[in-house]
Structure 1
Amino acid sequence: MYPEFAPIALIAAASVLIVLPWHWRAGNVATLSLVFWLFITNLIYGVDAIVWADNVEIIIPVWCDITTKLIVGANVALPAACLCICIHLERVASVRMARTNISDKRRRQIFEALVCFGLPLLIMALHYIVQGHRYDIIESYGCRPTTYFSVAGIFIVWLPPILLSIASLVFAALALRHFMQRRVSFAAHLTTTHSALTTSRYLRLMLMSVLQMVWSLAITSYALWFTTISIPIRPWTTWDDVHSDFLRVDTFLTIFTLPKIITSFYILWWTVPASTFIFVAFFAFGRDALDEYKKCFMWFRTTVLRQTVDSKSTKGSFSSMPTLR
């Protein structure tokens, strides 16, 4: 029904890998987590769109068990990563950060790893509390996680992304306030704090984080609103009652699904590719990225094609990449 789903998801998964090398070298955990979760989710969406393009058969059940949990984790991981970026931007722009050393960077990496990977894993585990049955299979979309819609489900599944998005916007506002207060001497301030950021990279990261969070907040709020008007909130009674038919797999054929629900599925599906393309637009097409591509092209010419290249054409260094050190 939607032949564009698979190619768009797979293209998005491949495009997000463009920024992986230099962020890996710089050890930027928050941006690496964005790459990881966006890649995994787009890959899942692409495979699901191929396998369940016109059916709702239970073809690869173990795949669905794993991927539905990863989707739950990814819903939290994106705002969590943007929160870490905004916290770092606010800290860099404030007077509290006199300078950055290896110990400070290591502590930040540990904190970001706990938030960007530990928190999603925790939510994935807690989701089992409100997982009324195994999963759903939706025609054209594939496997999707299920939630027993209750107050506990709202607190476990929907509330964390909303709170993380709001916190990110608060830290982004504080970072912008610090920037406006010292906008004239901001470049010198970054040099003083030994940050690898430049003014342009700083603003690019902030704008990317704000756009991602506004987008994430709007979509999560929409999903919660739509679920609220579609399904009445049920009481979370007992564990045995909620999980009484846990092995059940519900299937949704398009022909038997209400149009408003199909529209909601369609809107929510696009959130991941759209978030990916926003991320790639900010990191893969800037001046810094073009310098990296030029360096890779020169390496290919000199190493693979064995061509002689003027040394002036190979100028540029990896230290100019948009990192968060």
Structure 2
Amino acid sequence: MHYELPIGAFAAALLVLVPLPWHWRARNVPTLSIIAWLFFSNIMLAVNAIIWADNINITAQVWCDIATKFQIGATMALPACCLCLCIHLERIASVRQVRTTVEQKRRRMLFDLAMCWGVPIISMVLHYVVQGHRFDIVEDFGCRPATYISIAAIFLVWVPQLVVVALTLAFAGAALYHFFRRRLTFARHLQDTQSALTPGRYFRLMAMALSQMIWATFLTITNMVLTVGGGLRPWTSWADVHSNFGRIAVFPTVFIPETQWRWTYFIFWTVPLTALMFFAFFAFGQDAVKEYRAVFGAVRRIAHLPEKEKAAPAHTLPSFTRLPAPKRMSGRGASSDFGTHTDKTLHSKPQGDFPLTPRSTSSFGTSVPEYDARDYGDVHSLHKPASLSDALPPRTHDAHDMA
């Protein structure tokens, strides 16, 4: 038994759920749809690997009817979801739409739902045209969709996927073009469009879509070439293609050629690898780190674990503040606030006024000009007092004059 097959598929299904919370809060239909398709695809692969481990028994037929159709839809769902994502990214990067109204958001959500779920369902229905029998069962891998290899199968199964991939790459290229035109003001442009995206999130989504489409292009072309490499079957009639439709073909491992078995083994792992790629793009971003901290904090509170004390900084830089000027008595009275002196006070030289003390946020550059404005005569003497006693204010018994 190949224990790595169900374990790897279950692990991939769990990993793909990690970015779910912040995509759910963002109401991002394409990324939520990718998570759903990848999650259920991995779950179905894991269940198949468990049920048909070292056997080809014809069991769970209804399960196979559902699982095989879901596999057909999933091959179209990933390109369709990435296409919706790249269309949205291109619209944000361009200047065609500065603000998004509630009605436009609603129409966009309906379009995303139609593309991410409606198009895969249509591909499931069209697969019935070239479905020669019910399904196949491969030892260790479970049930697989059956396809009548013909010209019709090429145009109904593989060509639509390649068309969607090409459209996705075109919109991704247009989005990158708009970015390079506004690369210096791109962050401000995202704020002007009232988008929840940051430049980091934008590029993660773009990189994920591009990598998934390159990966999907390689898999689609390779699968099509290997499948039709043995030759095409003639399309005679609907009745001939669907004759004995209820038949279930079984393939034990001993009768599968070594090259074909390796390709089947590789195809199985493409779905967990796709989920791992999706996880890698979103598991280490700023949103993910915040989510991890929230989860760890909740676990710490539940387990009553002490919080880690923050270490005090080894070195601290001194800061400077300006002490309030001593209150000066005059005929009209004077204010104790340094910024509200009268003209007479400003032009009178204080006794023992020391400009800076080491407990502040004022800088030397903003303090010296204010003292230069006064009629002191020698400005340099303010910074280099002759002695400490000259720099300190005179002793007083008035509490209001204490510095």
* TM-score, structure 2 as length reference: 0.74
Query: Deviation of residue 163 (structure 1)?
Result: 1.2
Q: Which has the higher helix share?
A: 1
The Cα of 1:305 is off from its aligned counterpart by 4.4
Q: Return the offset for 1:301.
A: 3.8
Q: What is the one-letter code of the residue matched to 1:259? A: E
Equivalent in the alignment of 1:149: 149
What secondary structure is seen at the aligned counterpart in 2 of 1:194? Answer: coil
SS in 1 for 2:137: strand
Q: Which residue of 2 aligns with 1:321?
A: none
1:129 alignment partner AA: V
Q: Which residue of 2 aligns with 1:279?
A: 278
Answer yes or no: is the 8 Å Cα contact 2:49–2:140 preserved in 1.
yes
- 1:113 and 1:178 map into 2 onto residues whose CA distance is 26
Q: CA deviation at 1:308?
A: 8.6
In the TM superposition, structure 1's runs of 4+ consecutive aligned residues that sit over 6 Å from their partners are 306-310
Q: Match of 1:179?
A: 179
Return the letter of the residue paired with 1:284.
A
Distance 2:205 2:2 in 1: 33
Residue in 2 that maps onto 1:158: 158
The one-letter code matched in structure 2 to 1:254 is: T
Q: In the alignment, residue 187 of structure 1 is paired with which amino acid? A: A
| Equivalent residue number for residue 21 of structure 2 | 21
- Paired residue for 1:263? 262
Rounded to whole Å, the distance in 1 between the matches of 2:25 and 2:70 is 26
Residue 17 of structure 1 aligns to a residue whose secondary structure is coil
Give 1:186's aligned amino acid. F
Partner of 1:320: none
Aligned match of 2:287: 288
Answering whether residue 113 of structure 2 is matched by residue 113 of structure 1, we say: yes
SS at match of 1:137: strand
Distance 1:77 1:236 in 2: 27
Q: Which structure 2 residues correspond to residues 160-309 of structure 1 after superposition, within 5 A?
A: 160-230=160-230, 232-302=231-301, 304-305=302-303
Q: Deviations over 1:50-88 (max 9, x none)?
A: 111111111211110110000000000001101111111
One-letter amino acid matched to 1:298: G
In the alignment, the residues of structure 1 paired with residue 201 and residue 43 of structure 2 have an alpha-carbon distance, to the nearest angstrom, of 29
State the shift of 1:288 in Å: 1.8
1:2: which partner in 2? 2
On the 8 A contact 2:22/2:287 being kept in 1, the answer is: no
Which 5+ residue runs of structure 1 have no aligned equivalent? 313-325
CA contact (8 A) 2:12 2:276 kept: yes
1:296 Cα offset (Å) = 2.8
Alignment match, 1:316: none
Q: Deviations over 1:74-126 (max 9, x none)?
A: 00000110111111111100111211232222111110100000010111111
**Is the CA contact 2:56–2:137 (under 8 Å) kept in the aligned structure 1?**
yes
Whole-angstrom CA distance in 2 between matches of 1:46 and 1:17: 16
- Residue in structure 2 matched with residue 61 of structure 1 by the alignment: 61
Taking the aligned partners of 1:8 and 1:65, their CA distance within structure 2 comes to 23
> Which deviations, in whole Å up to 9, do the C-alpha atoms of 1:183-205 show, x marking residues without a partner?
00000000000011111111111
CA drift at 1:25: 2.4
2:48 partner letter: D
Larger Rg: 2
CA distance in 1: counterparts of 2:7 and 2:34, whole angstroms: 21
Distance 1:5 1:142 in 2: 11
Residue 35 of structure 2 aligns to which amino acid in structure 1? V
TM-score (norm 1): 0.91
**What residue is the counterpart of 2:124 in the other structure?**
124
Secondary structure of the structure 1 residue equivalent to 2:18: helix
Q: Distance in 1 between matches of 2:152 and 2:37?
A: 25
Give the Å deviation of 1:225: 0.3
| C-alpha distance in 1 between matches for 2:30 and 2:306 | 39
Letter in 1 for 2:263: S
Q: Which residue of 2 aligns with 1:101?
A: 101
Give 1:45's aligned residue. 45
Partner of residue 392, structure 2: none
Q: Could you tell which deviates more after superposition, 217-226 or 102-111?
A: 102-111
Which residue identity does 2:241 align to in structure 1? V
Bigger mean CA offset, 209-218 vs 24-33:
24-33
CA RMSD of aligned residues (A): 1.6
CA distance in 2, matches of 1:199, 1:286: 12
User: What's the secondary structure of 1:46's corresponding residue?
Assistant: helix
**Amino acid of the structure 2 residue aligned with 1:91:** R
Match of 2:91 in 1: 91
Q: What amino acid maps onto 2:197 in structure 1?
A: L
Query: 1:236: how far off?
Result: 2.2
Between Structure 1 and Structure 2, how many residues are aligned? 309
Sequence identity, in percent? 50
Following the alignment from structure 2 to structure 1, what is the Cα–Cα distance between the partners of residues 268 and 103?
Answer: 41
Query: Alpha-carbon deviation of 1:271?
Result: 1.2
CA distance in structure 1 between the aligned counterparts of 2:12 and 2:101, rounded to whole angstroms: 35
